């Protein structure tokens, strides 16, 4: 079973906890919380309300919280959950950090300092959870190997995972090094409608240079150069039409229940031990998307 991505939307937070309990009952691998909607708060609630499944952040923005404060909170959730919590950390994106009004440095250096500060508490706040680093390209993967307990991608290309994971020693993988990827997923027999939803989901990511550079590295130079040309011309509305089916199929899941389930198996085969499905729907919002997801894996 895959894991699922969950966020607590204002006004539906109690319903979100009830949904997490149902996700656990259905046997999903875990729930990982996005950076919006207070993922740490949701993880704390799930620590109290669930019993067996893993929970975690994917990701918590390092610029939003002092590392010593983060260490205390992470240790608390880890203890309350009975050791089921994974602390996923990331540098987020320039637009998000600009809204926070924070000064950022070099992502690798900032992440190194943050994790080393947390590790430097030497469990004085209590035992720390596994630390998972959000990554795209190999330099951050290498840092995850050096300082962390795993790596998590978002919108990775499946065909490129073997190359990315080559940076992780086989003995670390065998010892349980976390390998996750957040995968936009839309279930609908109307494949065109489902693909259109995933294209809308990824439009914002195409605006980010670090993602475009990753996808170029993954072999999608032609698509990314076309995107950059459209952005330079102020033609953002053109972006969905520039997402080739080949690229979309490599980074997302869509279509019938069978196609999505087969796609999850393909991600496992590619070395992703924790595929994290990010549900969307052609027929409604978050709750409708989860209704379809639970039915698909019943």
| String of DSSP letters for 224-272 | HHHHHHHHHTT-GGGGGGGS-HHHHHHH-EEESHHHHHHHHHHHHHTT-
**Residues 155-166: tens digit of each pLDDT:** 999 999 999 999
The DSSP result for 126-195, as a single string, is SPPPPEEEE-SSHHHHHHHHHH-SEEEEES--GGGHHHHHTTS-HHHHHTT-EEEEEEEEEE-S-HHHHH
Instruction: Tell me: pLDDT of 94 over 80.
Output: no
- Percent of the chain surpassing pLDDT 90: 93
Average pLDDT over residues 1-16: 94
Share of the chain above pLDDT 70, in %: 100
The bridge status of strand 150-154 relative to strand 131-134 is parallel
What's the pTM value of the predicted model, to 2 decimals? 0.96
Q: What is the spatial distance between Cα 95 and Cα 101, in angstroms, rounded to a whole number? A: 10
Tens digit of each residue's pLDDT (9 = 90 or more) over 170-189: 999 999 999 999 999 999 99
Spell out the domain ranges in the chain: 3-188+253-296
* Tens of pLDDT, residues 73-89: 999 999 999 999 999 99
Predicted confidence at residue 102, as pLDDT, reads 81
CA–CA distance, 146 with 115 (Å, rounded to integer): 11
| Contact of 57 with 85, CB cutoff 8 Å | no
Superfamily designation of domain 3-188+253-296? Luciferase-like domain (3.20.20.30)
């Amino acid at each position: 079973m895959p894991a699922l991505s969950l966020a607590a939307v204002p006004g539906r937070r109690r319903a979100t906890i009830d949904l997490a309990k149902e996700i656990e009952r259905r046997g999903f691998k875990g729930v990982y919380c996005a950076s919006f909607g207070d993922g740490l708060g949701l993880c704390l609630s799930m620590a109290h309300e669930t019993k067996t499944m893993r929970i975690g952040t994917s990701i918590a923005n390092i610029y939003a919280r002092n590392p010593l404060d983060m260490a205390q909170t992470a240790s608390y959730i880890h203890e309350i959950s009975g050791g089921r919590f994974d602390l996923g950390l990331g540098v987020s994106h320039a637009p998000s950090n600009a809204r926070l009004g924070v000064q950022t440095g070099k992502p690798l250096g900032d992440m190194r300092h943050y994790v080393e500060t947390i590790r430097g508490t030497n469990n004085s706040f209590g035992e720390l959870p596994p630390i998972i680093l959000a990554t795209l390209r190999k330099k951050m993967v290498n840092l995850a190997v050096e300082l962390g307990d795993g790596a998590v991608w978002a919108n990775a290309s499946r065909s490129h995972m073997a190359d990315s994971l080559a940076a992780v020693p086989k003995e670390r993988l065998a010892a349980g090094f976390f390998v996750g990827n957040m995968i936009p997923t839309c279930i609908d027999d109307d494949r065109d409608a489902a693909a259109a939803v995933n294209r809308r989901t990824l439009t914002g990511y195409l605006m980010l240079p670090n993602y475009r550079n990753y996808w170029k590295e993954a072999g999608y130079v032609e698509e990314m150069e076309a995107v950059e040309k459209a952005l330079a011309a102020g033609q953002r509305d053109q972006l969905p039409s520039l997402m080739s089916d080949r690229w979309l199929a490599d980074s997302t899941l869509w279509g019938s229940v069978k196609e999505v389930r087969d796609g999850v198996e393909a991600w496992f085969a590619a070395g992703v031990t924790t595929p994290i499905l990010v549900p969307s729907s052609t027929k409604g919002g978050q709750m409708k998307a989860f209704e379809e997801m639970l039915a698909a894996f019943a």
